[in-house]
Amino acid sequence: MKKVFYHVSTLLTKDGVFKPRIPLDRLENENSSIARVCVAESIEGCLSAFPDGGKELLETLYVQEMHVKVFRIDAEKLGIREEDIFNSSRLYTTDLVADAENNKENWILREFVVPEKDQYIIKLKSWEDSFRPIIPYNMMLKIQEYYGEKYFSYDMDPAEHLDQIQFYYEEIVDGLVSESPLIIDLQYELAI
């Protein structure tokens, strides 16, 4: 298993010790009983997954002159086994995290230490903002049932079908579709 994940922290002095915990800031309806270390498959995914849709991230970035600390987590090198990881598909299809597929969030369920050579501070230069609907998996199944699986499938990009999804939410669920921010085309440099 060759898996590399990333964890991004706004705490520039954070050490490389990671212990599973239940985050205080979670997405509404996100699991509140499984201790985990949240990671993503890219730095962009990590930044996209910040609590409150990254609302407080930009404020913190300005204070820190756009610097964040990145931890590169080589699962094989750190002895993290497949059974220690909940991948984004599992998080999504078990309704543990409704936007896990959007930002490719994964959970590592055991303690580990990232060596200093895999820790670095970067300065964010630029990025593009995008948004993607947050559709819980059980809701996706209901939408498929309503529209037909051939017309609306799990593999389709929900952003391309937002009108149909919104109609379903308004008419059937009596609610509005939430969106999660996505950071794409991230440009950064290593800080000295």
Please name which of 190, 177, 179, 83 lies closest in space to residue 132, comparing C-alpha atoms.
Answer: 179
Q: What is the mean pLDDT of the chain?
A: 85
State the Cα–Cα distance between residues 171 and 168, nearest whole angstrom: 5
Rounded to two decimals, the pTM is 0.86
Please name which of 174, 180, 167 lies closest in space to residue 132, comparing C-alpha atoms.
Answer: 180
- Name the CA dihedral angle for 18, 20, 25, 31, rounded to a multiple of 10 degrees: 150
For Cα atoms 35, 10, 121, give the angle at the middle one, nearest 5 degrees: 115
Structural contact between residues 100 and 180, judged by C-beta atoms closer than 8 angstroms: no
pLDDT tens figures, 90-143:
999 999 998 899 899 999 999 999 999 999 999 999 988 888 778 788 877 877
Each domain of the chain, given as residue ranges in start order, spans 4-132+181-190, 136-176
pLDDT tens figures, 64-80:
899 999 999 999 999 99
For Cα atoms 59, 46, 152, give the angle at the middle one, nearest 5 degrees: 115
User: Hey, what are 170's tokens?
Assistant: 């308004």
Residue 111 CA: distances (Å) to CA of 19, 21, 104: 5, 10, 20
pLDDT tens figures, 37-58:
999 999 999 999 887 555 567 7
